[in-house]
Each structure stands twice: as C-alpha cells, then as structure tokens.
C-alpha cells in the first residue's frame, strides 16, 4: 500500500501551515514571557526591600507565558486532529486503490479462465460434429 503523492503533499502543507508556525510562535512567545517573568521575580526578590509591584508583574508574566504555552499546545492538538483526518483519507484512498487493483486482476483472471473453458468446450463440440 502506497500513499499517493497528492496526499503526502496535503499532509506536509498542513504541517507547514499549522504545526510549524504554531510551534514557532508558541515557543518563542512563551519562552520570552517566562524568561522575562523569572528575571523580574529574581530582581524583585534580590532587592534590599521586597518590591511587591515587580513581584506581581513577574508572576503575571510567568502565568501569561505558561498560558500561552498551554493554548499553543491545545491549538496543535486541534490541528493534529485535522492531520489525522487527512492521513485517514490518504490511507483510505490507498486501500481503495489496492482493492480496485485486486478486483481488476481477479476479474481479468476469471474472464480468461471462462474464455479458455468456453473455447475448449466449443472446440470439443466442433470436433464431435466433424466426427459425425
């Protein structure tokens, strides 16, 4: 069973448009937010007096970074479902091609066998008639 090229292209295009872009945006955005949040929290905690505003800002950036990461993963899961549907269609088409090829070869074989038997029977009948 071989998946057709058009289905391979469809899967790769879907992957390029969704997973790669989402992964790049998710990773860079969430990593930046988390890193900035950690830096700000560290600054707030390392100062002589605990800076509540910086600590809150850092915690908020951390939370937003993790939220962006989670939402990005959920987006990827949603797109993966579509990718599975595309793969399912590709496998179904490949299986259908195999089934059609098998049907065609069986039909051809049976047709040849029937023709051989018909010719053999006709030949025998002609030989009998000639004897009579």
Each domain of the chain, given as residue ranges in start order, spans 5-131
* Residue 76 and residue 15 in contact, taking contact as beta carbons nearer than 8 Å: no
CA-wise closest residue to 2 among 95, 87, 71: 95
Tens digit of each residue's pLDDT, the chain (132 residues): 567 777 778 878 887 777 777 777 788 888 999 999 999 999 888 888 888 899 999 999 999 999 998 988 888 888 888 888 888 888 888 888 889 989 999 999 999 999 999 998 888 888 878 776
Rounded CA-CA distance 54/36 in Å is 11
- Going from the C-alpha of 92 to that of each of 11, 13, 86, the distances in angstroms are 14, 19, 10
The C-alpha angle 30, 34, 37, rounded to 5 degrees, equals 140
């Amino acid at each position: 069973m071989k998946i057709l090229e058009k289905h391979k292209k469809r899967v790769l295009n879907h992957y390029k448009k969704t997973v790669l872009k989402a992964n790049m945006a998710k990773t860079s955005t969430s990593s930046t937010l988390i890193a900035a949040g950690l830096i700000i929290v560290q600054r707030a905690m390392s100062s002589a007096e605990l800076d509540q505003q910086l600590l809150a800002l850092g915690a908020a950036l951390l939370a937003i970074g993790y939220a962006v990461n989670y939402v990005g993963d959920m987006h990827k899961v949603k797109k993966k479902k579509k990718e599975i549907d595309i793969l399912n269609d590709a496998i179904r088409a490949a299986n259908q091609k195999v089934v059609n090829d098998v049907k065609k070869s069986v039909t051809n074989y049976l047709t040849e066998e029937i023709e051989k038997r018909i010719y053999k029977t006709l030949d025998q009948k002609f030989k009998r008639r000639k004897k009579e």
